[in-house]
Amino acid sequence: MGFSNNITLASSKALVLTDNSTNTVSLQASNSTTSYTLKLPTTQSSGTQVLTNDGSGNLSWTAGGGTGSAAFREDYVVGTALNNYTGSTTVFNLVNSYVVGGHSLIVTLDGDVQTVGATIDYLETNSTTVTFNNALVVGEKVSFIFQTPTTSGGTVNTGTSGQIAVYNGTNSVTSGVTASMNNTKITGLANGTASTDAAAFGQIKVLQTITATSTTSFSTTSTSYVTTNLSASITPTSASNRILIIASGDIGSNVGTNQIFVTLARNGVNILNANGITGPQIQIAGYYDMPVTVSYVDSPASTSSLTYAIQIKGSASNAINFGSGTSTQSITLVEVV
């Protein structure tokens, strides 16, 4: 039967196509408020393609997927040849390609995701071939889902070990940028110098360290501060730098009622409070001992030689001893920025 004019079906009616049995396929217009025409492609699809509309009703075959991270698939039945697949139970020759080792291909067997690997489920033999490690059962369904990044997701350039990637703001990531936290300035912070960058980050830069020790006991009966034999000198490289002082030792007395005080002096002047440091004493065989640790950050505002020392005093005129004569007392001076 032939027609020389358009065929118009009544409202809400469908065009029903029947196969060689009782199965049918129906085409029916939606309740659209706009009339339009769809023109079929001039050729058959090459497989795994979809129909796309150019906006004017012209249909064409295109690879499946969309923008961003495009994804499309190929479906096969084990033992049934289709496209490039011969029907093998282990080797699948695909129409589309993927990146070997690039995590761009997902493989499922009867709906279960398979794992790539020489001793696991399958191997990515080449960009269009997948080989299963064990023979599959005829009739099982195998699907290959391709994930291919497009240009809308941007490009990534390569670099070398120790470098970082930087986004350039124009749909691209540039690798090969060398990063260093040594003496290289960090732009955008303070003045871009090592010291100002360190300050901006809240970092401390050590310039020099001086350490002194003593194993000799120092004794006094004074009720005013007296400089002990534990001291060290340092010359700051800048008046704006600070000095971190860390000192430790032990101090004691034969009289438990004689309260002991310890302080830190710079060039003979107490730089802590009037009473310095005091605390409970431990009685050992009639001797009252007090372990001492002093940690203090000084801002001397000087570039001259500075001597820091431990000073001690007692509340009564009874002998107090700094150091037992066998233990080691120490003081460390650190110039920091």
- The enclosing domain of 255 has a CATH number of 2.60.120.1340
Q: Do 214 and 329 belong together in one domain? A: yes
**CB contact at 8 A, 309 and 227:** yes
Q: Do 212 and 314 belong together in one domain? A: yes
H helix or E strand, kind and range, residue 196: helix 194-200
At 186, the pLDDT band (50, 70, 90 cuts) reads very low
pLDDT, tens digit, for every residue of 212-223?
999 999 999 999
- Mean per-residue pLDDT, 231-255: 92
Cα angle value 207/213/215 (rounded, 5°): 175
Question: Which of 56-60, 81-85, 265-269 is least confident?
Answer: 56-60
Number of structural domains in the chain:
2
Q: Do 249 and 331 belong together in one domain? A: yes
- Examine the fold and report which residue of 149, 177, 192 is the final residue of a domain before the chain moves on: 149
Question: For residue 55, what pLDDT is reported?
Answer: 76
* Domain membership flag for residue 36: no
Cα–Cα nearest to 118, from 103, 131, 100: 131
At 43, the pLDDT band (50, 70, 90 cuts) reads confident
Please give the full DSSP string across 45-112, using - where no structure is assigned.
Answer: --SSEEEEE-SSSBEEEEES--SSEEEEEEEEETT--BTTB---SSEEE-SS---TTTT-EEEEETTE
Cα angle value 180/186/187 (rounded, 5°): 140
Query: What residues does 146 pair with on adjacent strands?
Result: 72, 105
Q: Do 144 and 240 belong together in one domain? A: no
- Examine the fold and report which residue of 100, 115, 149 is the final residue of a domain before the chain moves on: 149
**Residue 32: partners with Cβ closer than 8 Å, 6 or more residues away:** none
- Examine the fold and report which residue of 117, 149, 181 is the final residue of a domain before the chain moves on: 149
Q: Do 214 and 142 belong together in one domain? A: no
Q: Do 136 and 223 belong together in one domain? A: no
Residue 51 dihedral angles phi and psi, to the nearest 5°: -85, 130
**Local structure of residue 312 (DSSP, 8 states):** E
Question: For residue 37, what pLDDT is reported?
Answer: 83
**Amino acid in the structure at residue 174:** T
In the chain, what percentage of residues exceed pLDDT 90?
38
At 1, the pLDDT band (50, 70, 90 cuts) reads low
Does residue 174 surpass a pLDDT of 60?
no
Residue 159 dihedral angles phi and psi, to the nearest 5°: -140, -160
- Mean per-residue pLDDT, 269-285: 79
Does residue 15 surpass a pLDDT of 80?
yes
pLDDT greater at residue 37 or residue 204: 37
Question: For residue 262, what pLDDT is reported?
Answer: 92
Q: Do 238 and 325 belong together in one domain? A: yes
Q: Do 144 and 260 belong together in one domain? A: no
Question: For residue 152, what pLDDT is reported?
Answer: 42
**CB contact at 8 A, 38 and 22:** no
Query: What residues does 53 pair with on adjacent strands?
Result: 59
CA pair distance 26, 13, nearest whole angstrom: 10
- Mean per-residue pLDDT, 89-106: 88
Q: Which domain holds residue 326?
A: 207-336
**CB contact at 8 A, 309 and 229:** no
Question: For residue 71, what pLDDT is reported?
Answer: 55
* Domain membership flag for residue 171: no
Tokens of 252: 């004691």
Q: Do 212 and 303 belong together in one domain? A: yes
Question: For residue 201, what pLDDT is reported?
Answer: 58
Q: Do 134 and 214 belong together in one domain? A: no
Question: Which of 34-48, 135-149, 230-244 is least confident?
Answer: 34-48
* Domain membership flag for residue 198: no
* Domain membership flag for residue 107: yes
Question: For residue 63, what pLDDT is reported?
Answer: 64
**Local structure of residue 278 (DSSP, 8 states):** -
- Mean per-residue pLDDT, 135-161: 71
CA pair distance 75, 69, nearest whole angstrom: 20
Question: For residue 66, what pLDDT is reported?
Answer: 43
CA distances from 49 to 45, 60, 73 (A): 6, 9, 9
* Domain membership flag for residue 89: yes
* Domain membership flag for residue 1: no
pLDDT greater at residue 164 or residue 284: 284
Q: Do 232 and 332 belong together in one domain? A: yes
* Domain membership flag for residue 180: no
Tokens of 244: 């971190």
Cα angle value 122/125/129 (rounded, 5°): 90
* Domain membership flag for residue 32: no
